[in-house]
Structure 1
Amino acid sequence: PKPKHSLPKKVETPKPKPFDRTHRLKTLVSTLIILVVLDYFTRDFLFEWSIPLIQYFRSIATPGWDTFFTIVSEFGDKYVISLFIIISFNFLDLPKCFLVSLNAYSALALLSLLKSINHEPRPFHVHDISPSKCWLEYGNPSGHSLISSCLFLTLWQLVCKQKGWDALVPALETPEKKRKRMTVLAGALLCIGLVSFSRVWLGVHTLNQIFYGWMWGSIVSLLYCDILYFEICRFTNSLRTKDTTQLIFNFGTRNFFLIYTLALLTFLVGSVLNPTPKAWLENVQKNCAGKLRAKDSVDPEWQNFEKFNLAFSVVGVYLGIIVESKLVGTDKYPFATQTSVLCSTVRMLSTFFIGCPTIMGILLKSDQYSYVTVQICKYVLPATLGNFYLFGFSKWVALKLNLINTRQPAPGEDTVYFLQGRESLIEEVPAGDISILDGWVTKPKQ
């Protein structure tokens, strides 16, 4: 018999987990339906159960504790959202930063729609409670719990992807990666918990409103950072190849106009067909005595629409990315943020101070101008112009200041964004040619 010759053992390329988007989407929708039904049957009980708890907190509240929880509460408000976007722009790559801004502004838009649809009062709208500050829009869901859960979970997922700590490729999983991933998650959950508790302490939300905010914030984060992650990254990187018609009319812009129209109709219909009960307005005037400005509207529907207009600033993000890729040309530096912590910090500070003139409208005094003027000049324009400068020109300014990494893909290489869960990309590349750099995979051209 012929001698048997053993074949050399084939070295298998580490492969990511199979990614079944349809299954994940069905699971997400099923979970959402279950949670919405659960909320429907428990919200009244939790609302009433929360009132004695809030009254107790307000009875033991001191100016010092109120100040502390007011500061904590700001980590789910609009100014900290802007800060998070600036930080992510200077420490994450462009698609991930776009995801942070998209999550934040989608959460703001969803928040206003849900408040109008649920039409649920805050605790001090219907009970004898004196809040530390009078937030006047409807109560359900809690905006701070929704935004904080969405933002912090988003940052957790994107930081893990950027650092390579995610469990995408099981063969590359290590105890050290898992420990880092869980540590960052624990920090994110702690921040979410503190922000949410601060809203109960300050007397402006009940427990069911907090839980409802957690639910929707988590859903938005999972939808964008997991199920649609690849599509959003691909969309961001493909803008340079699209013509004017494609830039104006695409899936994202159509949904933006649809949601904005829906919000406008909700505001108009809600004000006419489902007006705020007079007893609520009277209770707000009583509990907020001395805490309202002369021109403040105590109608929650008006307040909801004011907050929704902040979501319009995602237009500035979109236009900024287009300008950078079509005109400025700094998109050719995909590794721009891969600099030292000191350099990244200096770049972030320079971005803020040089861009300050674009947001000067926030200093406008609301009680001296009409409602429309305040909406446009104090809320819409500053956030939109600020984002336009950040995504369109700040990298060019940093380039002139020598504050970015100007490394480009080597000649003869294709650089493609890492396709989460796409086995085909890994299979196309021999094991020795794979170079995963903060979410990028480079391979030589054939």
Structure 2
Amino acid sequence: MTTTQSAIIKQVNFSYDHNKLQNLLVFLLAFIVIDYVFLKDLLFQVSLKHQIMMNEEYHSKHAENFFEVMSELGDGIGIALFLSFAACVLSTESIVICCMAQGIGCAIVILLKSIHCEPRPFFLIDNLYPRKCSLEHGDPSGHSFVSASLLLCITDRYIHQYKVQNKVRAWSIPVVLILLIGSSRIYNGYHTYNQVVSGFVWGTSTYYFLCYVIVDYLNNFSRQFRFLSNSQKFWNPLTKVFFYGYIIQTALYFYNISYRPTPESWYEMTRKNCPTRKFNIDPKLTDFEKYSITSTVIGAIIGLQFEDTFLPTKDMLKHFEVPFKYLIPSLIVTFIGMLSSIISTLVVSHNDPFILVLWGKSFMPCFTAGFYQTGLSRYVLYKFNLINTTIVVEDAQIKKVK
């Protein structure tokens, strides 16, 4: 930190919109009541019957392949593509919001899975062979949740930043993608109706929370980041979500293994439907492992520190922007970099020791992705001259970047 910066250290206090938070909590409370009283068991049982029919009577290889592609859009490669797009078209503060949609969204979804402890269809149905044996609990659907929270955040910030006039068209694309991703999780036997609906509701609520309830705090945090003390940078409400959430997840794990044991029938069916999985098949343990994907939050904040240290943004209020003519090459460069963050997931097997699985398949890929999004990707684009550094705005004066 320079002498000038140290002389103007600022405090960014956590703030939120009380009325919007109250409305969100009322909505979620109403959904929880309706879900548990009317929808949960009904939709779960109906979904199991329909999936048996689809698997035995109406199965289509073409439909299976199509929905598997849609499912991948809600997984690692798809999320990397969406975040790469955000990194190329949105301002830094908006990118931070999108990273929080993925990171905080994953924290919420894994905690909810551990609370509900609801099985996936292939835990219960014979001869239902998923292409990917994701063995954490099923409610809510993580793909539905994260695709909703992330795509809605990207679209909202895009419309806000570029003052898009045709909002119906802008919203239609992500909504269709979200619905297709959710449908793919049902058709290919990964989730039930109620689990996908729950993912949609909680994912949309996370988007609303980030883009409307605490958006001012998130924007101020990113804009004033270079003026914050180290304690404010690295111990704040965002990092507390990761660490306190880990404590809660750990407590849930030990509570569940002590008082809510996994039925032996789930293990037997999982071994039959997922023959490649030899070890670590307890969904409670997988929930605990998967919480580490929340590390995107930590990576994103360290990425901001990287940008502040190595890029000429210290005198800028307006962050770098990618000119439209450079969008395609910028997207390609950024996406390749994002793919490098998931290399460890290809090297580490689910049958490796648990600590290695936690580190290589959950923590490290998402930490690296968050760091790359907010920091390293900007540096790469800057070095390739794919980012606009011609003019910046500071105190209403236009200056040249030297």
TM-score range, shorter chain: 0.7 to 0.9
The higher radius of gyration belongs to: 1
1:73–1:195 contact (8 Å) kept in structure 2: yes
Map of 1:121-136 to 2, 5 A cutoff?
A: 121-128=119-126, 130-133=128-131, 134-136=133-135
Q: Structure 1: which 5+ runs fail to align? A: 1-19, 166-176, 416-446
**Counterparts of 1:208 and 1:47 in 2: how far apart (Å)?**
6
Which of 189, 195, 198 does residue 181 from structure 2 map onto?
195
Structure 1 residue 213 corresponds to structure 2 residue 199: yes
Which of 88, 93, 110 does residue 108 from structure 2 map onto?
110
Report the equivalent of 1:278. Answer: 264
Offset at 1:392?
A: 2.2
Partner of 1:393, secondary structure, is helix
Which of 26, 33, 36 does residue 30 from structure 1 map onto?
26
Report the equivalent of 2:171. Answer: 185
Name which of structure 1's ranges 369-378 and 225-234 shifts more when overlaid on structure 2: 369-378
Partner of 1:30, secondary structure, is helix
**Counterparts of 2:241 and 2:290 in 1: how far apart (Å)?**
19
Which of 299, 308, 317 does residue 325 from structure 1 map onto?
308
Report the equivalent of 2:293. Answer: 310
Offset at 1:54?
A: 1.2
**Counterparts of 2:298 and 2:222 in 1: how far apart (Å)?**
14
Partner of 1:298, secondary structure, is coil
Report the equivalent of 1:80. Answer: 78
Q: Structure 2: which 5+ runs fail to align? A: 1-15
Partner of 1:245, secondary structure, is helix
**Counterparts of 1:52 and 1:356 in 2: how far apart (Å)?**
38
TM-score of the pair, normalised by structure 1: 0.79
Name which of structure 1's ranges 306-315 and 352-361 shifts more when overlaid on structure 2: 352-361
Offset at 1:326?
A: 3.7
Offset at 1:298?
A: 2.2
- Could you say if the C-alpha distance between residues 98 and 414 of structure 1 is closer, same or farther in structure 2, counting changes exceeding 3 Å? farther
**Counterparts of 2:41 and 2:395 in 1: how far apart (Å)?**
63
**Counterparts of 2:225 and 2:396 in 1: how far apart (Å)?**
20
Report the equivalent of 2:157. Answer: 158
**Counterparts of 1:192 and 1:148 in 2: how far apart (Å)?**
6
**Counterparts of 2:393 and 2:245 in 1: how far apart (Å)?**
42
**Counterparts of 1:357 and 1:51 in 2: how far apart (Å)?**
38
Offset at 1:72?
A: 0.6
**CA-to-partner distance for each residue in 1:115-141, whole Å, 9 max, x for gaps?**
110011122323335143333221111
2:344–2:365 contact (8 Å) kept in structure 1: yes
Partner of 1:23, secondary structure, is helix
**CA-to-partner distance for each residue in 1:157-203, whole Å, 9 max, x for gaps?**
111101213xxxxxxxxxxx2xx111122222211111111111112
2:106–2:293 contact (8 Å) kept in structure 1: yes
Amino acid at match of 2:139: N
Partner of 1:409, secondary structure, is strand
**Counterparts of 2:76 and 2:339 in 1: how far apart (Å)?**
16
Map of 1:267-416 to 2, 5 A cutoff?
A: 267-286=253-272, 288=273, 291-330=274-313, 332=315, 334-340=318-324, 342-353=325-336, 359-366=342-349, 369-410=352-393, 413=396
Report the equivalent of 1:56. Answer: 53
Partner of 2:391, secondary structure, is coil
Report the equivalent of 2:6. Answer: none
Offset at 1:213?
A: 0.9
**CA-to-partner distance for each residue in 1:332-376, whole Å, 9 max, x for gaps?**
553522402x41221232234456655532331416732212221
Amino acid at match of 1:45: L
Partner of 2:392, secondary structure, is coil
- Could you say if the C-alpha distance between residues 113 and 372 of structure 1 is closer, same or farther in structure 2, counting changes exceeding 3 Å? same
Offset at 1:44?
A: 0.8
Partner of 1:379, secondary structure, is helix
Structure 1 residue 147 corresponds to structure 2 residue 133: no
Give the number of equivalent residue pairs.
379
**CA-to-partner distance for each residue in 1:375-408, whole Å, 9 max, x for gaps?**
2134322332343244223323322322111133
Partner of 2:224, secondary structure, is helix
Q: Please, what is the CA RMSD of the aligned residues?
A: 2.3
Report the equivalent of 2:248. Answer: 262
**CA-to-partner distance for each residue in 1:222-262, whole Å, 9 max, x for gaps?**
00011111110111111100112222332322333111211
Offset at 1:206?
A: 1.3
- How high is the sequence identity, in percent, across the aligned residues? 27
**Counterparts of 1:356 and 1:51 in 2: how far apart (Å)?**
35
Report the equivalent of 2:44. Answer: 47
Structure 1 residue 204 corresponds to structure 2 residue 190: yes
Partner of 1:135, secondary structure, is coil
- Could you say if the C-alpha distance between residues 155 and 24 of structure 1 is closer, same or farther in structure 2, counting changes exceeding 3 Å? same
Partner of 1:203, secondary structure, is coil
Amino acid at match of 1:156: T
